[in-house]
A and B are shown apart, each in its own frame.
Chain A
Amino acid sequence: SQKIEQNSEALNIQEGKTATLTCNYTNYSPAYLQWYRQDPGRGPVFLLLIRENEKEKRKERLKVTFDTTLKQSLFHITASQPADSATYLCALNTGGFKTIFGAGTRLFVKA
């Protein structure tokens, strides 16, 4: 069956360190993959999109990698800040109209 897996355990890191979140998928061949941030009680906010022919994408302190052989995307936040504490969602689109979201990983950045 088709699955997207994100670390269900929360990630706790110290301010200033790099946070790395993982998204693994099976039985998909996504045309692109997206990362969103969601704060409690609010809608997700789009962060980055990476296409199947791209290996890496950056935006300010954020970096996303996409390995279609491993079927994995890594999401990095460098120089993390307490304000980065949130749930981060991975989402796949296989070229059609449907977007499949992972359950998300909670990140806590301690000052």
Chain B
Amino acid sequence: NAGVMQNPRHLVRRRGQEARLRCSPMKGHSHVYWYRQLPEEGLKFMVYLQKENIIDESGMPKERFSAEFPKEGPSILRIQQVVRGDSAAYFCASSPPGGDEQYFGPGTRLTVT
């Protein structure tokens, strides 16, 4: 059973460009979480999604950030008009229906130049 997959693993964007981060949950998992981690800091919750629904986006910045988890295909975290402060590691996690533990992907390291 493949684990949570994220791609790309590393992404470099210039200021003002768009960043798209993808996450494929573990097979059978229907819940996806996105987190951001800055160096030497803890994981910060961004958004929780189920298939075709955003359940809790209280951790998402109100502008430039959006997330989706379509019926088919991976979950996407989209950052428009990136700024240097968006540079961070972005982790996706999935959990099974009824389960509380989260299984994390390897992360996408976004660098904004």
Contact = CB atoms under 8 A, between A and B. Distances in A.
Contact of A43 (B44, B48, B100, B104): B104
Measured as residues with beta carbon below 8 angstroms from the partner, the interface class of chain A is: 20 to 34
Q: Chain A's interface: helix, strand, loop or mixed, by majority? A: strand
Interface centre among B42, B93, B107, by most chain A C-beta atoms within 10 angstroms, is: B42
B74 to A, nearest CB: 16
Nearest to A98: B45
B27 to A, nearest CB: 17
B48 A97 contact: yes
B63 interface: no
Nearest to A93: B100
A46 B101 contact: yes
Interface residues of B, number: 24
Contact of A32 (B33, B42, B44, B100): B100
Contact of B43 (A41, A49, A89, A96): A89
Contact of B42 (A49, A98, A101): A101
Given A43-B107, A97-B48, A103 B101 contact: no
Nearest to B91: A43
Contacts of A4: 42
Given A43-B104, A89-B42, A99-B102, 19 more contacts: A32-B100, A34-B100, A34-B101, A41-B107, A43-B4, A43-B93, A43-B107, A44-B43, A44-B102, A46-B101, A49-B100, A96-B56, A97-B56, A98-B48, A98-B56, A98-B59, A101-B43, A101-B44, A103-B41
Interface of A: 4, 32, 34, 36, 41-46, 49, 89, 91, 93, 96-104
8 contacts: A43-B93, A43-B104, A45-B104, A46-B103, A49-B101, A93-B100, A99-B102, A104-B42
